[in-house]
Amino acid sequence: MFETLKEQPADKILMLMQAFKEDPREQKIDLGVGVYKDASGNTPIMRAIKTAEQQLWQAETTKSYTGLAGDPAFGDAMIRLVLGDAVPRANVAAAAQPGGTGAVRQGFDLIRQANPGARVFVSDPTWPNHLSILKHMGIEMVPYRYFDDDTRGVAFDAMLEDIGQARKGDVVLLHGCCHNPTGANLNITQWKEVVASLQKTGATPMIDIAYQGFGDGLEDDAAATRLIASSLPECLIAASCSKNFGIYRERTGILMAVSQDAGAQKLNQGTLNYLNRQNFSFPPDHGARLVTMILNDDALRADWQAEVEDMRKLMLTLREQLASELQRLSGSDRFGFIAQHRGMFSRLGATPEQVEKMRVDHGIYMVGDSRLNIAGLNKTSVPILAQAIVDAGV
């Protein structure tokens, strides 16, 4: 039967990672893969994670299963982190997932189960895996305009026009903060208009929040998600711990189903448990337990928050340095958007040919749509990248 299988398209980011590894040049810069790197180019284990792991090693007495939804304490801690007091805890069903990707996939599975005919409206552009998973699952995807190639900001009027075409039973997928791949984000006034549009159409929002703390801070980055959860009858939230806790390989995420009707929580929770059982039974626990320990311990949480803030500030500094260097080299302020974007990514607006020229001439590796990982830079590589951008005629 295997002879009937068809070769699947290669993941462009994984291909880029391999090409970078095979490039023999010493002076090469990886701005493709979406992981945080410190000034030395390393992806460190956070201090609070190290401490929690040491404590867990001493205290853990079993490796038995937790539950179909994971440890309830993890759900409680993540709901507080993401939603604060925006909605009562009794209105939220939650289930641990293998990473933010697992949470997104499980969210799509819940959508398909609730309404097999649902359309999912997705920003253009978006994280490529959103599109890949939807296609694989056979769920209809409708793009909505998001990025303005001229201003490198949000094409907000176009976005509102497009999501206004959604119907009750459809889903509008939104990036909670730090939009991937563009780095261009809505302000709170614009978010309120998005809420008004969803209230009018009856479409259900699904929020993918993978970078809380990397934009404007832990609380500010959650503001849009909290606004939506408190303003609409129901929503889905897929949250990741990979970036802000630095536990990429531990695959730690959570899916939340929020309903203003507290009576729906039992059914929602049962559905999340059922979906986990059909997919992987019990979710991984190690990363989730570390996150729970940190969020529930005042000292560990304070140290974690301080380190997240240091990471955020480093990325902001790199953005400002790159924008300033580009202004110096080009004599133009057309790259000022880089300092205004937030999160790990920015989209330059370069053509695939210009991206390729930067790779060939300067060893700069970024995704073909010109998404670059700001966290892949340091003070030494910023001038190199700036020169490459100018040389490529961006």
Instruction: Please tell me the distance from the alpha carbon of residue 355 to that of residue 94, in angstroms, as a whole number.
Output: 41
Residue 2, number of CB atoms within 10 A of its CB: 4
Least Cα distance to 370 among 347, 337, 387 occurs for 347
Do residues 379 and 39 lie in contact, with contact meaning Cβ atoms separated by under 8 Å? yes
Instruction: Please tell me the distance from the alpha carbon of residue 385 to that of residue 76, in angstroms, as a whole number.
Output: 43
Residue 108, number of CB atoms within 10 A of its CB: 23
Do residues 68 and 95 lie in contact, with contact meaning Cβ atoms separated by under 8 Å? yes
Instruction: Please tell me the distance from the alpha carbon of residue 342 to that of residue 273, in angstroms, as a whole number.
Output: 35
- Alpha-carbon distance values, 96 to 48, 75, 190 (Å): 21, 7, 31
Q: In what order do the strands lie in the sheet with 171-175?
A: 92-98, 252-259, 234-240, 204-209, 171-175, 119-124, 140-145
Instruction: Please tell me the distance from the alpha carbon of residue 148 to that of residue 154, in angstroms, as a whole number.
Output: 6
Residue numbers annotated as active site:
127, 208, 210, 243
Instruction: Please tell me the distance from the alpha carbon of residue 242 to that of residue 129, in angstroms, as a whole number.
Output: 16
